[in-house]
Amino acid sequence: MRILVIMRGLPGSGKSSWIRENGLEPFTLSTDSLRLLYSAPVLNLSGQSVISQRVNKLVFAALDKLLAIRMKNGDLTVVDACHVREEDFLRYRDLIREYRYRALVADFSDVPLEECKRRNRLRDEMRLVPEADIDRMHSMLIKAKLPGWVQVFSHNDRITL
């Protein structure tokens, strides 16, 4: 099944929960999971144990390599990351063309900022995202335009893959 589902939304918008609720975990490449493979949780300035962002270069290189392998195999794949900038989608364009994939975006951008922050506060300490980071990501999300080669659907839509 040559389908790539790209998650899009703020931390706390419900992307990972949607993946879990729809039984898509076995098909998912998650940037947070990759971060935890590269680095154990670290202490932030407040003394909280959090997922390290210092390994992002390695994480995205691994994501690209794993995704290329899965797409070469023709596997249904879901990418669980925020994708708040236009350029976040460019990393997939060539693979989609090369392996003749259909690109779907599960869009969570309509989840209100304050609701994302509320949900974020309910997360395990390690998965908390600083509110300033959520605000910064929100400002990028509302400005970003999606590329014309993706098909967008709302997280509220019923979809059959």
The strand ranges marked E within the chain are 3-8, 28-30, 42-43, 49-50, 77-80, 102-107, 151-154
Instruction: State pLDDT tens for residues 129-161.
Output: 999 999 999 999 999 999 999 999 999 887 777
- Has residue 135 been placed in a domain? yes
Range of the domain at 35: 3-154
Q: The whole model's pTM is what?
A: 0.94
CB within 8 A of 88, min separation 6: which ones? 81, 82, 144
Instruction: State pLDDT tens for residues 81-126.
Output: 999 999 999 999 999 999 999 999 999 999 999 999 999 999 998 8
Q: What integer best gives the mean pLDDT of the chain?
A: 95
pLDDT the model gives residue 55: 95
CATH of the domain at 37: 3.40.50.300
pLDDT the model gives residue 78: 98
- Has residue 114 been placed in a domain? yes
> Is the pLDDT score of 1 beyond 90?
no
> Helix or strand or coil: residue 59?
helix
- Has residue 160 been placed in a domain? no
> Helix or strand or coil: residue 98?
helix
- The number of distinct structural domains making up the chain is 1
pLDDT the model gives residue 24: 96
- Has residue 122 been placed in a domain? yes
- Has residue 159 been placed in a domain? no
> Helix or strand or coil: residue 20?
helix
- Has residue 161 been placed in a domain? no
23-36 average pLDDT score: 96
- Has residue 144 been placed in a domain? yes
pLDDT the model gives residue 158: 78
CB 84 within 8 A of CB 129: no
> Is the pLDDT score of 47 beyond 90?
no
pLDDT > 70 fraction of the chain, expressed in percent and rounded = 100
